[in-house]
Each structure stands twice: as C-alpha cells, then as structure tokens.
C-alpha cells in the first residue's frame, strides 16, 4: 500500500499529444499506470496513443472518471493548466514542468486555497508506487515493492536512494518528488504526515537540499508529531557557495538562511537519523529500522 497513487488511479494527461507528453505517457502505460485520456485544447474528439483526447480537463474528468492529472505543458502555460485542473476538482495534480515563473505559481497557490486538490510540483519528478502506478518522469529501473517511503526535492538523489533501498531489500512503498522550485504544492511536512498514517510504510527517507525552509518545517512537524516510525534525512549542498543558485530555482543559500548545516541540525533535533553522505542513506535507514 502506498500514498496518493495506486491501482485505483485513473490518470488524465494535460499535454499528452506533445513530444514529451507522448514519450512519457507511453512509458507510464507500459509500466501499468491506468491512463484514461489526454487534454489538448482544439484536439477534442481525436485519439492519441489509442486514448481519447478532450478539449478541457472538466470534460475529460467527467467522461473518464479521472482522479489524477499529470501536466506536461510548457512553462508559459503550465500555471493555467494547473489552475484548470484545480477548478475541475481533480483530487491530485502532478506537474513535471520546470521553470514555471514564480509569480505564476503564486496564482496557482491562491487557486489551491479552499480547493479539494493536492498539487505535486512543479519541477517534480513525479510519483512511483512500485508494481502499481507511475506518474511523471521518474525512472523505474531499480524500484522494488517494499515499506520505505521516500520524499525528495532532488531528482538525481531520488534515483540513487531508490537503488540503495532496493539493493538492501527494503524496497519502497511510494516515492514522491515534491519538486525543487521555491513555490510549489505539497511539501515535506504534508508528505511526512501521509507516510506516517500509511500502514504500508515502516520508515521514511527525506532528501533535502539547501534553500527555502522545507526541511525546517518538516523538523517542526516531526517534533510535534513524535513519530514511532524512523525518519532518515539527508541534506545536499553542504559545500555550496552562498548567494549563488545551485541547480534549480529552489536551491539558493543567501544571507545565512537555508544553509545545509542549519537544516541538518533542525532535523537532528527532531530525532531524524542523519545520513553522513549520499552513499550511506540506505544503510542509515536499515540501521534506523533495527535501532
């Protein structure tokens, strides 16, 4: 059992007919994800990849019973696509688009208030419930069904930790890429809450990085929740220079805020097991489960 997605997922893809949408939809279908249709204004009534295409999310959701939407839309139109899915009351929206303008995301966050929608992303690698459902662009080479939940801001480190936990025969219940942009949907704290409530998850790995306050908010949540499940944390960017953006938009350490050491200390004070380096995250989780 995992969180957010599973065998019951019925996926609608906004931007399915584009080059990237087509490429990744083919792979999601091959994995076993139940893709029920796509959305592309002006192409309603046509078919793509053997599936119906609709002019709007509301039309597609009504016709297919879709409960998740994946967004493969260019940055200049991604916010409008997210807002359309929110207004159509889609329960879960996963946006993989990178470089969505920050002010556009402010409008999206405003649309989320009071809605029934949970947003993952933008700039998200997606979600993966091994053997059940894959949404987004997350590799599915090394995944293995198991009982470790993974929530991450880093796409490359996510793949590394999935491989480590599979190699150690721990496996994953669900892997969630929250995205690295400074303004986004679900963050660490909300995902931790979902994993703590999931009976199919025995331990949680949190992969953070410099910039923002995601890790500090997660530490605050864990201090109040006092979880019985072990949580392992790793924060990338301990040697990153200040006042310089590293990688994507969310990773910036400026004026002494958002630095790795501060985040690590906050997590340590919340009784999180800190992995000493990226190569030891899986082993740290195995040790935490038996400690």
pLDDT at 254: 47
Half-sphere exposure of residue 272: CA atoms within 13 angstroms, side-chain side: 33
Query: Residue 116 in contact with residue 172, Cβ under 8 Å?
Result: no
Of the candidates 237, 169, 168, which has an alpha carbon nearest to the alpha carbon of residue 209?
Answer: 237
Full DSSP string of 130-144: TTTEEEES---SS--
C-alpha to C-alpha distance for 291 and 210, rounded to whole angstroms = 28
Q: Which one of 24, 48, 184, 248 is the catalytic residue?
A: 248
How far apart, in whole angstroms, are the C-alpha atoms of residue 136 and residue 154? 14
Residue 87 to residue 55: CA distance in whole angstroms: 15
What's the rounded Cα separation, in Å, for the pair 118 and 229?
24
Q: What are 151's two structure tokens? A: 């929530």
How high is the pLDDT of residue 18? Answer: 96
Secondary structure class of 231 (helix, strand, coil): strand
User: What gap in Å lies between CA 92 and CA 3, rounded to an integer?
Assistant: 11
DSSP states of 91-122 as a string? SEEEE--S---HHHHHHHHHHHTT-S-EEE-S
Active site residue 248: yes
Q: Say what the pLDDT of residue 255 is.
A: 47
- pLDDT, tens digit only, all 291 positions of the chain: 579 999 999 999 999 999 999 999 999 999 999 999 999 999 999 999 999 999 999 999 999 999 999 999 999 999 999 999 999 999 999 999 999 999 999 999 999 999 999 999 999 999 999 999 999 999 999 999 999 999 999 999 999 999 999 999 999 999 999 998 889 999 999 999 999 999 999 999 999 998 889 999 999 999 999 999 999 999 987 766 665 555 554 555 544 457 889 999 999 999 999 999 999 999 999 999 998
Q: What kind and span of H or E run contains 268?
A: helix 260-269
| Rounded Cα distance, 19 and 281, in Å | 35
* Domains in the chain with CATH codes: 11-120 (3.40.50.720), 141-290 (3.40.50.261)
């Amino acid at each position: 059992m995992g969180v957010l997605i599973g065998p019951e997922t019925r996926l609608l893809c906004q931007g399915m007919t584009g080059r990237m949408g087509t490429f990744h939809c083919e792979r999601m279908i091959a994995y076993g994800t139940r893709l029920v249709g796509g959305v592309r204004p002006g192409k309603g009534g046509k078919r793509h990849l053997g599936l119906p295409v609709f002019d709007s999310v509301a039309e597609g959701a009504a016709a297919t019973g879709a409960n998740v939407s994946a967004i493969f839309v260019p940055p200049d139109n991604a916010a409008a696509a997210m807002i359309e899915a929110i207004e159509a009351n889609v329960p879960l929206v996963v946006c993989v688009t990178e470089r969505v303008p920050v002010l556009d995301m402010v409008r999206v966050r405003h649309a989320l208030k009071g809605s029934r929608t949970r947003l993952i992303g933008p700039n998200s690698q997606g979600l993966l419930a091994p053997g059940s459902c894959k949404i987004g662009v997350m590799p599915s080479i090394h995944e293995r069904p198991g009982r470790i939940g993974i929530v991450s801001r880093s796409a490359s480190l996510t793949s590394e930790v999935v491989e480590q936990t599979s190699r150690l025969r721990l496996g994953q219940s669900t892997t969630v890429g929250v995205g690295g942009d400074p303004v986004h949907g679900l963050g660490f704290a909300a995902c931790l809450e979902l994993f703590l409530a999931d009976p199919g998850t025995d331990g949680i790995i949190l992969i953070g990085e410099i910039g923002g306050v995601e890790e500090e908010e997660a530490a605050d949540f864990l201090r109040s929740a006092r979880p019985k499940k072990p949580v392992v944390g790793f924060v990338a960017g301990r040697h990153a220079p200040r006042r310089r953006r590293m990688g994507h938009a969310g990773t910036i350490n400026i004026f002494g805020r958002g630095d790795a050491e501060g985040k690590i200390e906050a997590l340590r004070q919340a009784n999180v097991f800190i992995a000493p380096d990226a190569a030891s995250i899986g082993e740290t989780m195995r040790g935490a489960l038996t400690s």
